[in-house]
Amino acid sequence: MAYLSGKVAIVTGSSRGIGRAIAERLGRDGASVVVTYAGNQEKALEVVEAIKAKGSDAISVQVDMRKIEDVRNLFQKTLDYFGKLNILVNNAAGTNVFKPTTQMTLEEYDSMFDITRGVYFALQQAALHMADGGKIISISTAGTSMSIPTGGAYAGSKAAIEQFSIGLAKELGARGITVNTIAPGVTETDGLVLEEEQVKQMVAQTPLGRLGRPDDIASAVAMLVSEDADWVTGQNIRATGGIV
């Protein structure tokens, strides 16, 4: 029997990239999965069908993480359809803006921090509705500890999520719910925008000798939602191939 059999997982932003890899991995491991998407329903349905093809149940829900009512509706729809919630993976992200502080606009700043606010209220909904013994994971970035010029606002939007998680881990510990973050390094997805020379530089700095892949991050999530990680909470796991 798959080790997540009988569990229900929400994976936000799971129609492509890292989120898709996570959703499909949890499905292969036996969980029923709620796949969320912002605008591409077709891609979300592909993920749903891929999960069902491996023997697990799945549904898709459209969610704009900037709208708190959408976030609340996501949890209600999950409970209405599956009757419970055991796992939440906060993966959804907006447009990441890298600009000097002097050039950042209010609209660009808000485009990142509005998602951060949505993650906070997703954590709130999980705290309200998740079954005891559940698992909460939020995807951050290695950039919170590897600051680069032009990356301050982006890293700040993710660092806040790390702090949300540390605090919530202490609040939910008595219920056996673990709360962690994963900080990926540079990962090959269709959203990666790097010049060839930049890719070579990143690979050269990475002890394991390559960029990350979505499945690498999905494997880290799979580890944290397993019973083997029941004693791991309030942590930020760096899934970076060793780059520091």
By annotation, the residues acting in catalysis are 154
3-class SS of residue 11: strand
Q: Which long-range contacts (CB under 8 A, 24 or more apart) does 216-219 make?
A: 216/184, 216/187, 216/241, 217/18, 217/21, 217/22, 217/139, 217/182, 217/184, 217/187, 218/18, 218/21, 218/22, 218/24, 218/25, 219/25
Length of the chain: 244
178: left (phi over 0), alpha (psi -120 to 50) or beta: beta
Q: Which long-range contacts (CB under 8 A, 24 or more apart) does 173-177 make?
A: 173/233, 175/132, 175/133, 175/134, 176/132, 176/133, 176/134, 176/230, 177/127, 177/130, 177/132, 177/133, 177/134, 177/135, 177/136
